[in-house]
Amino acid sequence: MAKDVIITPASGLIDFKNASNVSVATISLSDTGQLSLGNTASNVYIGDGTTSVDIIFEQNGKIRALTGKTLTLGQSDSSLNVAAPVTYTSPDASKTITATMLNAGSLSFTGSTGQLLSVTNSFTGTIFSANDVSGIPSIEVLDTGLVKLAQYGGNVLLGTGVDDGVNKLQVNGYVKATGIIEQTTTISSTTATTTIDLSTITNTTIIITCDTTASQAKVFNFTGTPSTMISTNIFSINVIVKNNVAIASLAWQRAGVAGSVKWPNGTIPPATLTAIGTGGFDVWTFFTIDGGATFVGSLAMYGVK
């Protein structure tokens, strides 16, 4: 065609020299048809240094944008496929992290010293989320530092890989906790009837403080479905009653039904409890094996001071 330009140098080389007749860049064509731009002493620039299309192929193997410009790979309607491992180097070149796609379909991160993953800056709300196959978060980290595990579904396993499909937290091995662990729910009983809503109880011990009129008849009424179960239908709880005043009579019932709490051998413990003052208490134990429909109770300790 008339507009074609054909250059056929005898050596397959176009040599660019500066004013001192020193070679600074080359364009070469090998016998196999390989076209090379630049040489070991030069960088290859695409663009004129003023527009957004300024890409530099450096002699040390780096590809970068001109200083102050952004290098974009791919766009919204295209894909970028990286077959080789990608290595990230810290600004001071002292640390590296390499991302490698394994044949098993996993993305593996390896590095030298330093923190492997850090999510900081001005994120708000959820700053990290690992989702299950349906897109529901299994692990979620909020900007407040709160970590949520299996909040919507699934269970958390520690020391085991076998899920029993029932319990939210399954631990195989000893558990050590340092610090104060909240184990009690405190209720103030100032009226004749005190309702204990089990659906709001998340601990295994309830402390009831009886600051009321002396010689008053007291009724403690369990309502709601227990919020924590040892297994599907089993629930147990300890109730510590602090008798700061003498109580004329004491009764326990379920859902407002008198006599609905069962006792060993059908014997109801002493209903009249004397004042044992500050620091004194009685300990009652209740459990159910049918999800709270029926409770069995016992007076474990009486008049402890």
Can you give the pLDDT at residue 214?
A: 61
pLDDT tens, position by position, 33-61: 777 877 766 677 677 665 556 777 777 77
Q: Distances in Å between the alpha carbon of 204 and those of 138, 226, 238, 254?
A: 27, 11, 6, 18
186 forms bridges with which residues in the sheet?
A: 207
The yes-or-no verdict on residue 141 having pLDDT over 60 is yes
pLDDT tens, position by position, 240-269: 887 766 677 778 888 888 888 898 888 878
Question: Is the separation of the CB atoms in 40 and 50 below 8 Å?
Answer: no
| Mean pLDDT, residues 171-191 | 77
Q: Report the C-alpha gap between 94 and 187 in whole angstroms.
A: 59
CA atoms within 13 A on the CB side of 213: 5
Q: Which residue has the higher pLDDT, 8 or 15?
A: 15
Q: Report the C-alpha gap between 98 and 86 in whole angstroms.
A: 5
Q: How is 140-199 classified by DSSP, letter by letter?
A: EEETTS-EEESSSS--EEES-----SS-SEEE-S-----S----EEEEEE-SSEEEEEGG
Can you give the pLDDT at residue 192?
A: 84
Can you give the pLDDT at residue 166?
A: 82
Task: Write the single-letter amino acid at 279.
Answer: G
The yes-or-no verdict on residue 233 having pLDDT over 80 is no
pTM equals 0.45
Can you give the pLDDT at residue 239?
A: 85
- DSSP-derived letter for residue 273 is B
